[in-house]
Amino acid sequence: MAPLGSRGLLTLVLTGATVGKPFRVAVISNADWAVSPPRAKPQFNIKFHIIKRPFVLLSGYRGCVLLAERHKLEALARTTNKSSEAILDTLAAINAIASRTSSGYVSEGCWVTSQIADARMRRISARYVGENKGSVPTLMPGLEILDHIKKNFNVKTGTDLRLIPIGGVIIGPGDGIPTPPPEGDPRTFVFAGSSAVGLLRSASGEKVALIEICHQECFIRMRRNEQIIVPIARLRIMHTQPNCQASARPLFPWPTLSPPLEIDGTHIDRGWEYSIGYYCEDGIHCAEFLQISRGLRNTAFLGDDDELVIVAPRASIKLTWTSVEDEPSALIEANVFWRTRPDGTRG
């Protein structure tokens, strides 16, 4: 890679996410912002960061990012309860403010992304802002995610894919990392939640059935670095309608039900999350409930280096029925794993 003259500035920022390890950030740049206007250095410099604590990186014309916006970035790096969409909104707003004081070096239009470590998942979202459409490739692993999403997620004809939610799951309670032996005294804690009822509709909008999820209070006793399976709720399909048109398995994202969740009386943001897809093939109605993994930190009894991983349901559930008399049901079990954070972060 060779510079293209003194005005051939190029900066690449690469991020990498591996389950169970800290995020990595690499910066490859030949830009010299110490002079005005900036010039290209005769060689590229490479900086490599292993992220074990809240981290903010400003590249390019850093002088246009005001102190107030830097504080917002630092707060955003520390947050653990913002949704991906809220993170993208904040990044876009900070970039818009920076563009107004950048003397033309920073455009208001941009590409914003978010990567969140959530137990055995890496949640990635991205959005372009402005009139110039485009994207930055995201590979997982070796798969170009945007192309994959366009093929498997529901995007209306004539519209652009602006927000891309993605999750990748790695098998195993320790995410492929050897699990240390249990330690400390056993602790008892309580999962509590309420019931939720949702209306199940076909792709054409017809009412198909009601979904009822009845949560029960769960008393869990375990040591750190232990894993257990506990029943958390009863799932039931009610008031089924026999005459619905045939439909294929839907594209993602599927509708969700989110009953509230408390641990030892502490309210947990987002609550329980159930992703539900309905379709009808060969006269058989099917409702699928996807396995969802999430990690909780800095809440309830958890210490600075603890993580509580909840996989619920612990395996995908598929309920089927063929007539109005059928009201299938299932027990929802959760895989609960209280562990030391595998990425080595604290706080």
For the segment 158-193, what is each residue's pLDDT rounded down to a tens digit? Answer: 544 444 444 333 333 444 555 678 888 999 999 998
The pLDDT assigned to 46 comes to 94
* Angle, CA of 169, 172 and 174, to the nearest 5°: 105
The whole-model pTM stands at 0.59
Task: Report the pLDDT value the prediction gives residue 167, as an integer from 0 to 100.
Answer: 39
Lookup: tokens for 173: 């309670």
Question: Which residues of the chain have a pLDDT value below 70?
Answer: 1-7, 19-20, 117-123, 132-135, 137-179, 324-325, 343, 347
What's the pLDDT at 38?
A: 86
What would the two tokens of residue 90 be?
């904040």
pLDDT at 174: 44
Residues 6+ apart with CB under 8 A from 54: 74, 77, 78
Q: Order of strands across the sheet with 196-201?
A: 196-201, 207-215, 226-238, 329-340, 306-311, 293-296
Give CA–CA dist 16/47, Å, rounded.
14
Q: Are 288 and 274 in contact (CB under 8 A)?
A: no
Strands (E), the chain: 11-16, 23-32, 39-51, 110-118, 121-129, 183-193, 196-201, 207-215, 218-224, 226-238, 256-257, 261-263, 266-267, 274-281, 284-289, 293-296, 306-311, 317-321, 329-340
